[in-house]
Structure formats: structure tokens, C-alpha cells
């Protein structure tokens, strides 16, 4: 159970750093100071192209900035599981939040492929991070006490 929580904390911290960088790219483009990011390889593999596209938003909010709110919540919930003897409800909450994040990321990747015609390596990495969070939260739920 502790390994689940520690993994969630670590992966979510990495995801938060990733989201900070992607949000930085987004804000640079909004301020008119757009530069090529280190993950801009070509027109088909470009984080900047994806992050600045109108298809990269959910209800008018860039998906990368949504992650800036989700990851700290996941970290906080996982931290609480390390401090409490009964953690089933906490892992359940982490599972729900991770599942919603994964669904949003999968829609985001679909938009990258179908509409933007470019892939963002860091966005795919974010999807992997949230998938790991989901798997570890389900595992923690299965191993925890009510």
C-alpha cells in the first residue's frame, strides 16, 4: 500500500513538472514570445503546435493547465494515505480523479492525431503518468483497509 502512495506521489510530481513546462509553452504563445520547445522535432512531432492549438483546450481551458490543479490534489491524497491507517476511500478518490484525467488525456491525444495532425511527446508522457497513477491507485485500493 505504501509503495502505491509513494509511486503516485513521485509520478504526479513528475507530471506536475511536465504540466508546468507545457503551460509555459502555452503562455509564451499567448504573450507573443513563442519559441521552439525542446520537444519540437518536426511538424508532426511538436509540443508547441499541439499546446497552442484551439483543439488543446477543454471548455476553453488548456488541458496542460488543468493538470496543474489535478496533480497537486493527487499528491495530497496519496500523502494522506501514508498518514492514515484506513485508506480505501482515499485510494478510491485517487482512482476516480485519475480515471477522469486519463479520459481527458485520451480525448486530447485523439484531437492531436485527427485535428491537429501533430503529436506532443510530453502530452503522451502525461497520459502515461496519469495511467500509472490510476493503476497504482487501484492496486492501493485493493490492498487497503476500509
Looking at residue 34, what is its pLDDT?
A: 65
> What is the domain partition of the chain in residue ranges?
2-143
Give per-residue pLDDT as tens, 53-78.
Answer: 888 878 888 888 899 999 999 999 99
Query: Is the Cβ–Cβ distance between 74 and 133 less than 8 Å?
Result: yes
pTM greater than the 0.85 cutoff: yes
Dihedral over alpha carbons 120, 124, 126, 131 (to 10 degrees): 170
Instruction: Quote the mean pLDDT of the chain.
Output: 90
Domain formed by 2-143, architecture:
Up-down Bundle (1.20)
What residues are paired with 62 via a beta bridge? 57
Distance CA 144, CA 44 (A): 44
* pLDDT of residue 146 exceeding 70: no
Amino acid at each position: 500500500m505504501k509503495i502505491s502512495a509513494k509511486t503516485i506521489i513521485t509520478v504526479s510530481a513528475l507530471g506536475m513538472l511536465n504540466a508546468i513546462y507545457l503551460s509555459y509553452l502555452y503562455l509564451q504563445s499567448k504573450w507573443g514570445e513563442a519559441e521552439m520547445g525542446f520537444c519540437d522535432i518536426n511538424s508532426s512531432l511538436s509540443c508547441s503546435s499541439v499546446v497552442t492549438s484551439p483543439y488543446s483546450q477543454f471548455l476553453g481551458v488548456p488541458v496542460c493547465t488543468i493538470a496543474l490543479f489535478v496533480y497537486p490534489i493527487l499528491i495530497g491524497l496519496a500523502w494522506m494515505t501514508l498518514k492514515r491507517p484506513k485508506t480505501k476511500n482515499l485510494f478510491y478518490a485517487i482512482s476516480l480523479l485519475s480515471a477522469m484525467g486519463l479520459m481527458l488525456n485520451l480525448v486530447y491525444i485523439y484531437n492531436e492525431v485527427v485535428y491537429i495532425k501533430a503529436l506532443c511527446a510530453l502530452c503522451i508522457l502525461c497520459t502515461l503518468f496519469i495511467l500509472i497513477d490510476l493503476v497504482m491507485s487501484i492496486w492501493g485500493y485493493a490492498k487497503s483497509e476500509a
